[in-house]
Amino acid sequence: MSDAALWAALADPHRRAIVALLLERPRPVGEIVEACGLSQPSTSKHLRVLRDAGLVRVRQDAQRRVYALDPAPIAALDAWLAPYRRLWNDSLDALGRRLDDSEEPPLSKD
């Protein structure tokens, strides 16, 4: 059930910000601290939550700990999203038909 942990981890705006930072490139804690404007302990705690949720991994470089995104949970989120995406595609299709009815034949997406 790390699913719950995953959602809980991403529920916090600061943690989403950290995840966004790590999307650009892996970073040591110090950089993350500066970037999100929190104290170092708070940041470390957020990183722990992210680590427990499997969202990030740590690599030790001397005294520094370099955090990097782990792509696996992203796949899990994507899997969760999949059934809903179907629904949304259907509705987009219907909407598009309604809006563009006068000019073009229904466009087939994709």
Partner DNA sequence: CGGTTATATGCCGGTCAAGGCATGCACCCC
Partner DNA sequence: GGGGTGCATGCCTTGACCGGCATATAACCG
Rounded Cα–Cα distance for residues 58 and 101 (Å): 53
Which of the listed partners (a copy of itself, DNA, none) does 17 bind, with a CB threshold of 5 to 8 Å by partner kind? none
- In the region spanning residues 7 to 66, those forming contacts with DNA, defined by CB under 7 A, are 8, 11-12, 14-15, 28-30, 33, 38-49, 58, 60, 62-66
First-to-last alpha carbon distance for the chain, in angstroms, is: 34
CA distance 25 to 4: 26
- 79 near a copy of itself, rule: CB under 8 A: no
Contact partner, 102, from DNA, a copy of itself, none, Cβ < 5-8 Å per class: none
